[in-house]
Amino acid sequence: MPTMLTDRAIIRLTPLDESENVPAFLQGLVTNDVSGPLPCYAALLSAQGKHLFDFLVWADGADLLLDCEAAHADDLVKRLSMYRLRRKIAIMRDDALAVHWSPVPHAGAVPDPRLPDLGYRWLSAPAGESADGAWLAHRLSFGVPEGRAELGDILWLETNAADLNGVSFTKGCYVGQENTARMNWRQKVNRRLVVVPLAASDHTRRVAAYPDLGLAVDHLRVEGLDPATLPAWQRAGVLAP
């Protein structure tokens, strides 16, 4: 079966001097702890704590690799380069690698760090046909949104980031950390992204629609959600005090 996700790209961050530490550079920018086990799910936020880019972070020796949306990879390179200042770190796309996915275990693959039900991912040379359609259907079947089309400029915790292992509340400062930490401390996540049947979608709160799958992603108030209709991973977060 096809495994390559052609709508994903790899960005490589490489130290150009032995004094440089790429994880330390990224640690002060993104929402998750990149000094711990990798891959992990993380995002680069606006100063207000809203989503700009989401990605998976992989280790490759002294380098870090970002598994991100291909359509916005160049924008992510530019944004990271803006924060680099005078640091001797190369930030560029690595087209020699591609993201691969399988719904079942595969040699060299690891479980998706967001949710084991999402299947298995690995990085290797581009090969084979696209698995984008199968991945989209699989991901949405488990109620997991991703990417700019679905996450937009929504507050990071409203994208279900805490439930999908996309944020660390102990790692220290990063861009957008203040508002994100305040929301978590006050338990003020008033809205959530939810995958719903297209026929039941509220067009005024819809952020993405997939007519071929009969599904939509809505941005809804928590008090209006029926926990019985939510996937188990999301239900636990919505019902948490």
Q: Which helix (H) or strand (E) holds 223?
A: none
63 vs 85: CA distance, rounded Å:
18
**Does 171 score more than 70 pLDDT?**
yes
Put residue 152 in one of left, alpha, beta given phi > 0 → left and psi -120 to 50 → alpha: left
What is the pLDDT, as a whole number, of residue 157? Answer: 97
pLDDT tens profile 56-66: 999 999 999 99
**Does 164 score more than 90 pLDDT?**
yes
Place of tokens 């084979």: 128
**Are the C-beta atoms of residues 113 and 84 closer than 8 Å to each other?**
no
As a dihedral over the C-alpha atoms of residue 96, residue 100, residue 105, residue 111, rounded to 10 degrees, the angle is 90
13 vs 26: CA distance, rounded Å:
9
**Does 175 score more than 70 pLDDT?**
yes
What is the pLDDT, as a whole number, of residue 162? Answer: 96
What is the pLDDT, as a whole number, of residue 238? Answer: 83
What is the pLDDT, as a whole number, of residue 241? Answer: 59
What does the DSSP assignment read for 123-169? EE---SSB-HHHHHHHHHHTT---HHHHHTT-BGGGGTTTTTT---S
Cα torsion 91, 14, 132, 149: sign = negative
